[in-house]
Structure 1
Amino acid sequence: MIRHGGEPTLDRSAILRLLHSATSLDAPAAKRRIVRFRHYSDYERFLLEWSNFGAEEDASDAVRHLPFIEAFSLPVTAELLAAAPAHDLWIENDPQVSVHAIVHKPASREKGIPWGVSEIKAPLAWSTTTGHRVKVGVIDTGVDFSHPDLKQSIGRGINLLNRGTLPHDDNGHGTHICGTIAAANQLHGMIGVAPRASVHPVKAFDHNGSAFVSDIVLGIDWCVRSGMNIINMSFGMKTRSKSLLTAVTNAFNAGVIVVASSGNDGKRKSIDYPARYPQTIAVGATNKLRRIAPFSNRGMYIDVYAPGEKILSSWLRGKYNEMSGTSMATSHVSGAVALLLAHRPGLTPTEIKAVIKRAMLPLRGTKAPRLTGELDVMRMLQAVER
């Protein structure tokens, strides 16, 4: 992390104005923003004032400390924003982000291996690697802890929306993602890409599938500190966020592989953030015909495509759902990376991305098949031996 030295340049009154405003009765009307500091000494000073302030007032809910990026998230009014010392502070919006899935419908349980898991040739790799001991942090809506197909696969997680409670899924999206990555119930239920990997649910998204960037930053922080090998990010937004980029870069520099979905707008030259950042593996979606799914964003920013249309996976209350989206494609890639890491521990994020790109299968129906292709686990395992 970058440390800026120098004398503190923020005066105490400016800090207190921000803190008082954030905890006042008017705060709900103010927009949540992320405040970062040009000088590390100012960050330390804000931290000190906040800890003193928090002891007097219930400032814990309104003000979120983001130590991973040396920042705070808090409500800031437009007036305060205009008056803030711009040369000392970077203030940006703390926008809401949505999960990347579209229509879903209840599905009857299909025993065995879903089509996407077979398509990427994961079952052919299981005699060599099953993802054993690889930890995948799933920043999402939580997980259904009682699902019979996931009981063997769930590791310790965190609920960032309600600290002290388990990250129970009240939406379904997170459970679906976890199933594709690591479901392990071959006799009676479904099996995921890496059945011996462990998924660690990080609940940053509410029952509507919506989260603040600051909660995602806290989720990335937890994943890095808790020793995750991979972070699955099946969500995105249209706008760039320096705070999210800093968190993703810190994870990348710590050797954590970040897999992110490209978005479901059918765009040809643009993808969502954080997938657009080069420190992630950006994933687009294909269908059963091995063509790019119509809803998937595509183009030069995509690193790899994977099955994302009509994907059957685990759902709430032990059920199953069929979903489509680049979210679903991303969980296939996270599972594939888990298989690769269990086989060859110690590969860096840069090396893993290179292996994936070297091992892709050309897509059907694309004019430039060499640029990008579909995930293929067996080719990945062969490519890493070369």
Structure 2
Amino acid sequence: MDTAAFIRSLQDTMACADPTATKRIVRFQHVSDYRRFLQQLSEIPSDSPLKQVKQISIIRGLSCTLPAVETLEQFAGRVWIEKDCKISVHAAPAQKSISMEKGIPWGVQQIKAPQAWGATTGHKVKIGVIDTGIDFNHPDLKQSLSRGINLLNRSMLPHDDNGHGTHIAGTIAAANQLQGMIGVAPRALISPVKAFDHNGSAFVSDIILGIDWCVRNRMDVINMSFGMKTRSKALLGAVVNAHNAGVIIVASSGNDGKRRSVDYPARYPQTIAVGATNKLRRIAPFSNRGAYIDVYAPGEKIVSTWLKGKYNEMSGTSMATSHVSGAIALLLALKPGLSPTEIKAIIKRSVQPLRGSKARRTIGELDVMRILQAVEKS
């Protein structure tokens, strides 16, 4: 590919004052083209519109604002272009904050995490939580946090201005049993990756940058409590590359109560797709369900950490996903060498049957003790 011609064309296109311009993701088919592009990009003057291009190396791509892309059609076959869609977190709107009942939350109890703590607490397993950030001052989370990254403002810590990310983090790894709450894997280490704004909304390109950061920083698990209806080839590319790098991706299935459909990225086979149950071990009415789900976990009326050191009750497949990420941390602290494919298989064959469900017996609720027993036998 004539990279110089591509850069000129891209620059001209970005310079157009076009009201129809939208954010797009551009991927290079050949690594040699991408490398040449990056090399030439580095030599461009600082006042060029191309300096606003975000590089996304995990998919050999970039994101930028472009009008209709006909001007780049001559490069079809060498680059792929898709719209940079919005994606949302998977949880019901937050209720008012509530006082924390001391002790272990019901979901953590239901998956039998406390029975495992004599053998494993998830010590030093690294979990990237791609979400709205985290409340760094929450007393229940202080022991469990690393610095992470803020993709919306790289000069700032990934502070949470929504609450969703803090809630997810608490279920995974809160560690303050005496005064506050305890999560599934209290000695795991959470890296908050802020890709979502205060409305709980993000661009696919920022999610992909989050996945890229997690792979580079050697996360063991990525928690993705969000989803969208449309398929993104760029997001699939990032998920496949992370999976191939040995990172386990846990994704929420969505809250539409659908029987034969789940949201992306949970729908990709390289993720562990999670549905939600309630206290009765039944599938929560809002949860998507069916053949695409790999495992169910508690997701209805889940109390966890919240902004300003408080607590909040939320429902959603987001909440279920955080239980699964915590359980994987417990498993990996005990058996560090397991691959994403092995972990998914172990979880699926170690489930508790659901109540009142006609679902086939192979689909059920997360059970930490069965998971650990399955590994001991193997």
Of 243, 259, 262 in structure 2, the residue corresponding to residue 252 of structure 1 is 243
Letter in 1 for 2:6: A
SS of equivalent to 1:55: coil
Amino acid at match of 1:341: L
Q: Which string of whole-angstrom CA distances, capped at 9 and with x for unpartnered residues, describes residues 237-290 of structure 1?
A: 111111111111111111111000001111100001110111110000001111
Structure 1 SS opposite 2:275: strand
Once the 2 structures are TM-superposed, how far is the Cα of residue 139 of structure 1 from its aligned partner?
A: 0.4
Q: What CA RMSD, in Å, does the superposition of the two structures yield over aligned residues?
A: 1.5
Equivalent position of 1:170 in the other structure: 161
Contact kept, 8 Å, 1:312 with 1:321, in 2: the verdict is yes
Give the deviation of 1:58 after TM superposition: 5.7
Partners of 1:21 and 1:27 within 8 A in 2: no
Say which is worse superposed, 249-258 or 366-375, in terms of deviation. Answer: 366-375
Name the residue aligned to 2:176: 185
1:361 and 2:352 matched: yes
Letter in 2 for 1:110: E
| Change in CA separation of 1:34 and 1:186 when aligned onto 2, cut-off 3 Å | same
The residue aligned with 2:189 is 198
Q: CA deviation at 1:17?
A: 2.1
**Is 1:18–1:80's contact at 8 Å kept on the other side of the alignment?**
no
CA gap 1:79/1:242 in 2 versus in 1, 3 angstroms? closer
> Residue 227 of structure 1 aligns with which residue?
218
Relative to structure 2, which stretch is displaced further, 41-50 or 346-355?
Answer: 41-50
Q: Name the CA distance, whole Å, in 2 between partners of 1:368 and 1:344.
A: 30
Q: 1:332-386: CA deviations, max 9, x gaps?
A: 0000000000111111111111110110001011113413000000010001111
Q: Check 1:10–1:239 CA distance in 2 against 1; reply closer, same or farther (3 A cut).
A: farther
Equivalent residue for 1:10, pick from 2, 22, 36: 2
For residue 51 of structure 1, what is the aligned residue in structure 2? 42
Pick the aligned partner of 2:315 from 324, 331, 334: 324
DSSP 3-state at the match of 2:223: strand
What is the one-letter code of the residue matched to 2:13? S
- 3-state secondary structure, aligned to 1:244: helix
What is the letter of the counterpart of residue 15 of structure 1? I
Residue 91 (structure 2) pairs with residue 101 (structure 1)? yes
Count of residues paired in the alignment: 376
Unaligned runs of 5+ in 1: 1-8
Tell me the CA shift for residue 187 of structure 1.
Answer: 0.5
Give the alignment's TM-score, normalised by structure 2: 0.96
Amino acid at match of 2:57: P
SS of 2:289 mapped into structure 1: coil
CA offset at residue 25 of structure 1?
Answer: 6.6
Match of 2:123 in 1: 132
Q: Identity across aligned pairs (percent)? A: 69
Q: CA deviation at 1:49?
A: 3.0
**d(CA) in 2 for partners of 1:193, 1:383:** 19
Q: 1:89: which partner in 2?
A: 79
Name the CA distance, whole Å, in 1 between partners of 2:124 and 2:69.
Answer: 51
Q: TM-score w.r.t. structure 1 length?
A: 0.94
Which residue is 2:277 aligned to? 286
User: Match for 1:167: what amino acid?
Assistant: P
SS state at 1:353 partner: helix
Call closer, same or farther: CA 1:270–1:363 in 2, change over 3 Å.
same
Q: Distance in 2 between matches of 1:376 and 1:58?
A: 52
* In structure 2, distance between residues paired with 1:166 and 1:11: 36
Cα distance in 2, alignment partners of residues 37 and 190 from structure 1: 46
SS of 2:266 mapped into structure 1: coil
What letter corresponds to residue 255 of structure 2 in structure 1?
N
Give 1:43 deviation, angstroms.
1.6
Structure 1 residue identity aligned to 2:188: A
Q: Distance in 2 between matches of 1:84 and 1:286?
A: 50
Cα distance in structure 2, aligned partners of 1:327 and 1:289: 19
1:17/1:266 CA distance change after superposition, 3 Å: same
